[in-house]
Amino acid sequence: MLQVPFLPTLQSLLVSPDVPLIHRDLSWIQFNERVLAEARSSSIPILERLKFLAITGSNLDEFFMIRFSSLRKTLVKAKNAEPEKVARLQKIYDEVLEAVAKFNIKQSETFDVLLSELEGQGIFFKNSEESSRAIFEAQVAPKLPPIEVVNAENLSRLENFQLAVISQETGKFLRIPKTVSGAISEYGMQNLASHSFFLLDELLLQNLKSILPNPCVVRVTRDGDFSVDLEEEDSESVPDVVATGIRRRDKGRPVRLQYYGPASPKFLEKISRMLRLRPFQVFPASGTVLLSALWSVLGQLSVQFSHLFYPVLANKMPKPFRKTNNLFERITKEDILLHHPYDSFDAFVSWIQAAADDPDVIMIEQTVYRMDAVSPVIKILKKAAQKKVVRVVIELRARFDELNNLKLADELRRAGVEVAFGFGRLKLHAKIALITRKEGKETRLYTHLSTGNYNAATARQYTDLAILTGNSEIGRDARYFFDKVWSAEVPVSFRKLLSAPARLHRKLLSLIEAETESARQGKKARIAAKVNALVDPAVIEKLYLASQAGVQVDLIVRGACSLVPGVPGLSEKIRVISVVDRFLEHSRIYFFQSSHELYLSSADWMPRNFFSRLELAFPVLDPLLYRFIVENIIGAFLNDTVKARELTPTGTWKKRTGTKSKAKPAIRSQWVFAELALNDYKGTPLE
């Protein structure tokens, strides 16, 4: 990569002083700060702000379990490497912990502000001692185990995210079962418009003082960065292997300790030593150690206080699905684009239902990565299995959904569905469904390809793109994909689809090179991509070279971004924006202007997606869908002046500003998409 001098603010973020790559973990913390900024925004409904605060807590939990644990292991393995490399890794490790400490302070400040504003709406978290005692005695005390004497052995038995209350005077402690709710509610008896909540850590602190003098509540986070290689396992043993791996997550090495309540330095030093933690891995609570419990609070308030959330999205059933009697005929004539959540996920459900009810459909096949346990799709597939072949390939190793997927696999098998699993070191991350239909003497294939999971719950919260097509080449590729995966083989030879790990990375590099060459020849050249993360060094290097050749590169990156835009002589023609708004941006789009190629995909631009997962990228072949995605979707993101933030050459993010006037109003991309869907895409290529 080209070496250029960097400003001091950027230097501290780089993986190495002379390499223009922002460290992915430091960039991720910046992403979580953008999420927290939504919780601090007074322009957002108050309970939506509380939701964003809960998200930052969940994000940080996962960060310590996975990314920080990985960083720690990398540092340990590098102990015998060159001193400069070890010093740089240690510096990044320290900077990550320092950034988290600063972030915790912002979280705590935000929590205090939100609690104060919620009280004005009749929602209370700070309650009287009398009411606290009543709730504790009725709903917490009966579930508590006996008190123990704290020692290194006992404390080390705390499971991942488990609470304990420790007396700083007597050396006794109480492990709190995970089954005890983190947030307990009590409706106001005198004012039905109010609602009171008791967070478990505060309840414990207030009500255990008599038996645990000078108490402190602690919460342990453990290393959850485990992988399960299924290469040597037969299909029948896969569930047992995965279940064993899940249990390891609760017993991994401690990587973080949070505490609630006053704690002496001597006490913190003692328990840190017991858990083999450095002092910088111990954090005071951000208002509570149970930010994750706010999810249940939000659920309980969703009806009575609906006016404090965003209005329910009026997502519509797209036109082609309002009459399903000719759905397959319609798909034969033209491809259909679905943009969730603005287009209802019920469209996909109705397609699967139509296939299940159609006597000419002989087989339904689908991949599953994350699916809600009560999905309507599951019910349809189980019923369809009574009349036709239904095959489902489930990735049991989808992180934090392993148990759900194990149960789902068992449920489907009992109903007669043929079930296979992901295999080897590759996680099956591709999102694809295939319908095989007998039409006269021919057999036709209908394919659904998506950037997101077949999950009705997250389809209302995540933005994703999907295409339904009757294209025969895509159908043959889909048939080949399922046949290979069903045989536990990696598919490599496609006509239209791109797959990882076989070809996707190489193809992306060649497409970037083609744009670069077009720019050198004086032709129009442009690259636009939307991904959740951009951290692959080879892709970033090619993008830098493209910029230097004159290619305009527009990147929409939700999370971690290692590329540094706008640096003279390196990346002047590159701009990077991030959109954090009501819905989680989850769709992936790759656009290459001079090559006239446009792909949607399940894959981010990360080494794990290119080399450790079985991914698919699918081309947008219909000219109208192509135009809509380039003009209306990519265009709206790049013109967003409300929720888009831009990455600067200094490595910091700034809020984009636009001139708001009647002639040029502010643009909020997610609002644009909702309006387009509500109006059946009038005035666009999809009309």
Using a pLDDT cut of 70, give the percent of the chain over it: 93
The pLDDT of residue 313: 93
Of all helices (H) and strands (E), which one includes residue 463? strand 462-469
- Among 449, 467, 496, the domain boundary falls at 496
The pLDDT of residue 194: 67
- Among 461, 496, 531, the domain boundary falls at 496
Give the CATH number for residue 201.
3.30.1840.10
Q: Could you give phi then psi for residue 115, rounded to 5 degrees? A: -60, -40
Three-state DSSP at 207 gives helix
pLDDT digits (tens, 9 = 90+) for 662-673: 567 899 999 999
CB proximity list for 517: less than 8 A, separation 6 or greater: 549
| Packing angle, helices 376-384 and 402-414, rounded to 10 | 30
d(CA 484, CA 473): 16
Q: Integer distance in angstroms from the first to the last C-alpha of the chain?
A: 45
One domain for residues 220 and 364 = no
Largest distance between two CA atoms of the chain: 83
The pLDDT of residue 189: 37
One domain for residues 284 and 164 = yes
One domain for residues 451 and 338 = yes
pLDDT digits (tens, 9 = 90+) for 110-131: 999 999 999 999 999 877 788 8
**Is 297 a domain residue?**
no
d(CA 37, CA 656): 14
| Packing angle, helices 24-39 and 46-62, rounded to 10 | 160
One domain for residues 88 and 164 = no
Amino acid identity, residue 8? Answer: P
Dihedral sign, Cα of residue 461, residue 465, residue 468, residue 474: negative
One domain for residues 505 and 432 = no
**Is 307 a domain residue?**
no
Amino acid identity, residue 292? Answer: S
- Known catalytic residue at 340: no
Domain of residue 664: give its range.
Answer: 499-678
**Is 685 a domain residue?**
no
Specify the higher pLDDT residue, 469 or 407: 469
One domain for residues 220 and 360 = no
**Is 304 a domain residue?**
no
Q: Could you give phi then psi for residue 195, rounded to 5 degrees? A: -150, 135
Q: What is the mean pLDDT of residues 147-173?
A: 88
One domain for residues 606 and 518 = yes
Q: How many domains does the chain have?
A: 4
d(CA 484, CA 542): 32
Q: Which of 195, 429, 505, 586 is catalytic?
A: 429
**Is 220 a domain residue?**
yes
pLDDT digits (tens, 9 = 90+) for 270-294: 999 999 999 999 999 999 999 999 9
Which residues share a beta bridge with 256?
221
Q: What is the mean pLDDT of residues 301-319?
A: 91
The pLDDT of residue 235: 54
The CA-atom distances, in angstroms, between 47 and each of 79, 114, 202, 523, 585 are 47, 9, 21, 50, 20
The pLDDT of residue 160: 93
Preceding peptide of 501 cis, ω within 30°: yes
For residue 229, pLDDT over 80 is answered with no
Q: What is the mean pLDDT of residues 149-171?
A: 88
Are the C-beta atoms of 19 and 10 separated by less than 8 Å? no
**Is 373 a domain residue?**
yes
d(CA 42, CA 283): 28
Question: Using CB atoms within 10 A of its CB, is residue 627 exposed (0-12), middle (13-18) or buried (19+)?
Answer: middle
Give the CATH number for residue 440.
3.30.870.10
Q: What is the mean pLDDT of residues 547-569?
A: 97
d(CA 605, CA 539): 8
Q: In Å, how far from its chain's centre is CA 437?
A: 35
One domain for residues 328 and 275 = no
d(CA 376, CA 545): 48
Task: Find the length of the chain.
Answer: 687
pLDDT band at 344 (very low <50, low <70, confident <90, very high): very high
One domain for residues 444 and 515 = no
CB proximity list for 530: less than 8 A, separation 6 or greater: 555, 556, 557, 585, 587, 588, 589, 634, 637
Q: What is the mean pLDDT of residues 491-511?
A: 96
Supply the pTM of this predicted model: 0.93
The pLDDT of residue 502: 93
- Among 249, 270, 290, the domain boundary falls at 290
Q: What is the mean pLDDT of residues 358-378?
A: 91
Q: What is the mean pLDDT of residues 631-657?
A: 95
For residue 7, pLDDT over 70 is answered with no
Give the CATH number for residue 108.
1.20.58.310
Are the C-beta atoms of 175 and 153 separated by less than 8 Å? no
Using a pLDDT cut of 90, give the percent of the chain over it: 75
Preceding peptide of 341 cis, ω within 30°: yes
Question: Using CB atoms within 10 A of its CB, is residue 438 exposed (0-12), middle (13-18) or buried (19+)?
Answer: middle
Q: What is the mean pLDDT of residues 396-418?
A: 87
Are the C-beta atoms of 611 and 592 separated by less than 8 Å? no
For 46-72, give one letter per residue: b (16+ CB within 10 A) or e: bbbbbbbbbbbbebbbebbbbbbbebb
One domain for residues 429 and 346 = yes
Specify the higher pLDDT residue, 132 or 436: 436
pLDDT digits (tens, 9 = 90+) for 13-71: 888 888 899 999 999 999 999 999 999 999 999 999 999 999 999 999 999 999 999 99
The pLDDT of residue 191: 46
Q: What is the mean pLDDT of residues 378-391?
A: 96
**Is 627 a domain residue?**
yes
Mean pLDDT of the chain, nearest integer? 91
Tokens of 227: 């992988």
Q: Which of 203, 145, 152 is nearest to 175 (CA)?
A: 145
Q: Which of 579, 678, 676 is nearest to 628 (CA)?
A: 676
The pLDDT of residue 658: 57
d(CA 496, CA 597): 11
Amino acid identity, residue 427? Answer: K
Amino acid identity, residue 507? Answer: K
For residue 267, pLDDT over 50 is answered with yes
**Is 301 a domain residue?**
no
One domain for residues 111 and 144 = no
One domain for residues 529 and 659 = yes
